[in-house]
Amino acid sequence: MRIRTFEYFVREALSSLRHNGLMSIASVSTVALSLLILGMFLIMVLNLNHMASALESQVQISVYLQDNLGDRDMREVGTRITKIPGVVQVTFVDKDEALTRFKQRLGEQQGLLAVLGDTNPLPNAFEVKVDKPESVKPVAQAVAQLKGVENARFGQEIIEQLFTLTRLIRLIGLALIIFLALAALFIIANTIRITVFARRKEIGIMKYVGATDAFIRWPFVIEGMILGSAGSLIAVFLLVEAYTVLTEQIYQKLVFLPLIPKYPFLNYISILLVVAGTIIGALGSTISLRRFMKV
């Protein structure tokens, strides 16, 4: 393609964008809205994943001991745990301390424990910290094999719940994204159809003088791409602003919530959205040209 031809395509595309004023604005807004929501879900899902793995790295293993162990046996178990590769710290929590902690956690509802009378159903335990998240599972399994250990648990449930939540949000997000992408596609196709209609005379002449179909189509495809990428740029702008505010707020108030840092995370999201918007635009015009103009 000659540079001059490309200039011609862009000029034609821009002039018909101007010509379609209101319709162009409607298309850009729809694309912007769709991609905004797409971006929001993407950021949410990625952050939840991020949190899940951050939590995973913090978890410790609770090792519950059998009831009938004497002090010597318990110390023996402690020593064995220390020798397992990946273990960095082992703390003993006796059953009385465990009960006290449990009571504290129950707070006002301590009354519930009255039924226990003087008995303490909680076992003696060790709390084990490991060097890296990947070590949690193998260490827990190794500990569970030790003689005198009742069982070994780690915060598996919380993490799995978080992942379930992520999956759910991903599913809802996906459905919504497909729906909105189709809406964006539809409105772009419609805008291009109006452009095609407005230019049918010109298109007719182009055909009579021997313009190829590709040549006739390009300005419309470019118009669609401009609509799509303009919409995506608006979405990107809003997302970046919102995420900036959000991260600042959260760092001030909820220090422990680990959000993904802006850079380079938002760069990837932005590139992705702009590419998606441009593709939606090109696709929208292609569909329209297929359906409404036999060129």
Partner 1 sequence: MIHMAGVSKIYASGLVALDDISIAIEKGDFVFLVGPSGAGKSTFVKLLFREELPTSGTIYVNGRDVAGLEPSEVPYLRRGLGIVFQDFRLLPNKTVYENVAFAMEVIEAPRREIQKRVNHVLDLVGLRHKARTYPAHLSGGEQQRVAIARAIVNNPAVVIADEPTGNLDPDTSWEIMKIFERINKNGTTMVMATHDKMVVDGMKKRVIAIEQGRIVRDQEGGQYGYEN
DSSP 3-state assignment of 152? Answer: strand
Binding partner 1 (rule: CB under 8 A), the pick from 112, 115, 209, 255 is 209
Note the helical H segments in the chain.
Answer: 3-19, 21-58, 71-83, 95-106, 136-145, 156-198, 200-208, 213-253, 262-292
Nearer to partner 1, 15 or 164 (CB): 15
Binding partner 1 (rule: CB under 8 A), the pick from 145, 151, 212, 244 is 212
What are the φ and ψ backbone dihedral angles of 13, each rounded to 5 degrees?
Answer: -60, -45
Residue 116 contacts partner 1 per CB under 8 A: no
Longest dimension (CA), the chain: 100
Shortest CB 278 distance to partner 1, Å: 25
Nearer to partner 1, 69 or 216 (CB): 216
Nearer to partner 1, 8 or 163 (CB): 8
What does the DSSP assignment read for 74-126? HHHHHHHHHHSTTEEEEEEE-HHHHHHHHHHHHGGGGGGGGGGTT---PPPEE
**Per-residue exposure over 186-202, b if at least 16 CB sit within 10 Å of its own CB, e if not:** ebbbbbbbbbbeebeee
Nearer to partner 1, 139 or 216 (CB): 216
Using CB under 8 A, count the residues that bind partner 1.
Answer: 18
Residue 21 contacts partner 1 per CB under 8 A: no
Binding partner 1 (rule: CB under 8 A), the pick from 202, 242, 272, 292 is 202
Residue 2 contacts partner 1 per CB under 8 A: yes
For binding to partner 1 (CB under 8 A), which residues are involved? 2, 4-5, 8, 201-202, 204-213, 215-216
